[in-house]
Structure 1
Amino acid sequence: MLARRSVARLAAQQSHQLGAAPKNARNMATLREIELRLKSVRNIEKITKSMKMIASTKLAKAQRAMNAGKEYGVANSEIFQHTPSETPSKRKLFIVVSSDKGLCGGIHSSVSKATRRAIADTEKPVDSDSPVMVIGDKSKGQLARALGPNLALTFNQIGRDIPTFADAAGVADLIVKSGVEYDSIAIVYNKFVSAISYEAAMVDVANENTFKESPGFRAYEMEEDATKDLAEFSLANAIYAALVEAHACEQSARRNAMDNASKNAKDMIDTLTMQYNRGRQAAITNELVDIITGASAL
């Protein structure tokens, strides 16, 4: 029994002499742990810097596409100015524009919060069971928790690189053929303010009934198919303008997020480097003290 205790005591002394952390120092990090953590943070910094460069390159392309796509929105606004709605709509269809990718800050939560506020606003005559259609998996997951019964249709893999009018036309075609009943349409998207800021915006889109009831269109004799095609084409134009602007906001937010992540990684590297150097200096000092003490004893 005494032999076992002696062996355990000697093993504890040897482990303490080899530089292991004492038992009572639970939060004390060894130099090896600091070195490994420092290496992982440096690898993370390289990844975030690379993602920032990629996002900066994509942002320039997204801004050019956004400037070209805004022309579709301007054409739509001119048409909608001549089709004012005479009766307030109660069952409004909300089309939320987001994306499937993350690592871009709170850009997806901004449109989700704007949609929830619009539905919960009691001052506007909007039913609480208004249908919601979401483009992108990120906002879909957020709205599914708060507005699960309202979700009527969701889309993914839309505009993986730069959104095209074909993507918007496909979404508009599925919305028209979905059979969801609504009085008006509102598109919720992120509006591009500058390269470092964005804000949630909402644009109203006229549907087929609005075109038929407007005085400006009643003055002309038009076939029913023409009005239906015009409404679907206007919806596709509005969705395309929202998609390209939201894509530019996403790239801008991702670049800013990766820039902030790189700065945080650099600060963490500086802190860990200082901590590692202090620990290394303390270990060297202890070794020198042991050597000097041994030499003095001899």
Structure 2
Amino acid sequence: MFRQAAIIATKQSYPANVRQFATLREIEMRLKSIKNIKKITKTMMIVASTRLSKAQRNKVTTAEFAKPEKNFYQITEAETSPLTKEGKSLVIAITSDKGLCGSIHSSMAKKIRSLLKEDSSAEIITIGDKIKQQILRTNGDNVKLAFNGVGKVDPNFLESSLISSEILKYINESPETYNKISVFFNDPITSISFEATNDPVYNEATVNEAPGLCKYEITQDLNIPKDLFEYALNTKILSAMGKGYAAEISARRNAMDNASKNAGDMINRYSILYNRTRQAVITNELVDIITGASSLD
């Protein structure tokens, strides 16, 4: 009983004239800020739409570089090599440094975390600050190498070559043997959807143990598997960056389009609220004037 009485007394202690509704000035300022946000999101949507066609062409161009070694892997049956089930896993996760593009970065981070639940010892190399920041929150010890400054322009062979050379340096200097190397990226399925997927890269030892390698006549003087591994790593990264860039531009366009529509709906609601509040203020002022005038009679 005492506790209930205390609660009732506390509720009754509040002043009776507490304001419960936003003033006309607050509604006007909020409406103005939403209109400014809509201008920004609409501009970003237009910019993303103009860049999307170029990104789509770049995706097709960069994908051509990865086709030869993909065919080679299929013919040699490299995925059935006994070494693919041995050694440590190395994951190369590719996103970018930019945000405001929906759930494209979080879906990639979710894919990497699910992989780490199955293989907690896998090492991660991140390309892009967004995926790096999200993985560091939960699996910071797995991140061994990180690259940033990507995604500002269309991916090109020089950029992927510089990245792959640093990754090769890390692989050569590491005491571990990486027989499972996977390049994770966002693959644009349609103009409004994408999927976090991966492509394997097989090292020299794995290719040498491939069952179908005997189908090729390889000169012993040339180290074809090693050269193929270095080239395949470069082209896989280039192709993944091209696809991921196209998926990001498409996701940003869709995200900014949805944000503009949501801002438009909020503008309509706040415009109605503003008009109703303004009418109420005018009515109250007229009532005060009429009451004052009648009191003088």
Quickly name the TM-score band, shorter chain normalised.
0.7 to 0.9
Figure out how many residues of one structure are paired with residues of the other and give that number.
272
Q: What is aligned with 1:192?
A: 188
**2: distance between equivalents of 1:146 and 1:254?**
26
Native 8 Å contact 2:183 2:198 kept in 1: yes
Letter in 1 for 2:292: G
Counterpart mapping for 1:213-228 below 5 A: 213-217=209-213, 220-223=218-221, 225-228=223-226
CA apart distance, 1:229: 2.0
Contact 2:69/2:228 (CA < 8 Å) preserved in 1? no
Match of 2:9 in 1: none
Provide the rounded CA distance (Å) in 2 between the counterparts of 1:287 and 1:220.
94
Matched, 1:149 2:111: no
What is the rounded CA distance, in whole Å, between the counterparts of 1:223 and 1:145 in structure 2?
Answer: 48
1:211 aligns with 2:207: yes
After TM superposition, the structure 1 = structure 2 runs for residues 21-36 of structure 1, keeping only pairs within 5 Å, are 24-36=17-29
- DSSP 3-state at the match of 2:261: helix
Q: State the AA in 1 paired with 2:107.
A: S
1:295 is displaced (CA, Å) by 3.1
TM superposition shift of 1:221: 3.0
Corresponding position of 2:98: 101
Q: Counterparts in 2 of 1:12-161, with a 5 A limit?
A: 24-81=17-74, 82-84=76-78, 85-87=81-83, 88-121=85-118, 127-161=119-153
* Cα distance between partner residues in 1 of 2:160 and 2:97: 16
Matches within 5 A, 1:245-260: 245-260=243-258
Aligned to 1:265: 263
Whether contact under 8 Å (1:136, 1:155) holds in the other structure is yes
Which secondary structure state, in structure 1, belongs to the residue aligned with residue 100 of structure 2?
A: coil
Aligned to 2:237: 239
Query: Relative to 1, partners in 2 of residues 1:89 and 1:192: Cα closer, same or farther, differing over 3 Å?
Result: farther
Gaps of 5+ in 1: 1-21, 122-126
CA deviations on 1:249-276 (whole Å, 9 max, x unpaired) are: 1001111111111111111111111111
Report the 3-state secondary structure (helix = DSSP H, G, I; strand = E; otherwise coil) of the residue aligned with 1:158: coil
CA contact (8 A) 2:52 2:246 kept: yes
**Closer/same/farther in 2, CA of residues 50 and 163 from structure 1, 3 Å limit:** same
Deviation at 1:90, TM superposition (A): 4.1
User: CA 1:146–1:248 in structure 2 vs 1: closer, same or farther (change >3 Å)?
Assistant: same
For structure 2, the 5+ residue unaligned runs are 1-14
Q: CA RMSD in A?
A: 1.8
Q: Secondary structure at the match of 2:21?
A: coil
Go from structure 1 to structure 2 and tell me whether the alpha carbon gap of 1:57 and 1:221 turns closer, same or farther (over 3 Å shift). same
TM superposition score normalised by structure 2: 0.86
Q: What residue number does 2:164 align with?
A: 172
Q: How many Å separate the matches in 2 of 1:34 and 1:28?
A: 10
Offset of residue 131 of structure 1? 1.1
Contact 1:76 1:238 in 2 (8 A): no
Q: Distance in 2 between matches of 1:23 and 1:34?
A: 23
When normalised by structure 1's length, the TM-score is: 0.86
> Residue 293 of structure 1 aligns with which residue?
291
CA distance in 2, matches of 1:26, 1:79: 73
Superposed CA deviations along residues 104-150 of structure 1, whole A, max 9, x for unmatched, are: 111011111111212322xxxxx421111000000101111222111
Distance (whole Å) between structure 1 residues aligned to residue 122 and residue 206 of structure 2: 18
- 1:23 Cα deviation after fit: 7.1
Provide Cα deviations, 1:227-284, integer angstroms capped at 9, x if missing partner.
3222100111111110000000100111111111111111111111111111110111
Q: Distance in 2 between the 1:165 and 1:77 partners?
A: 18
Distance in 2 (CA, whole Å) between partners of 1:37 and 1:76 is 56
Shift of 1:167: 1.1
Aligned equivalents of 2:255, 2:91: Cα separation in 1: 28
Identity %: 46
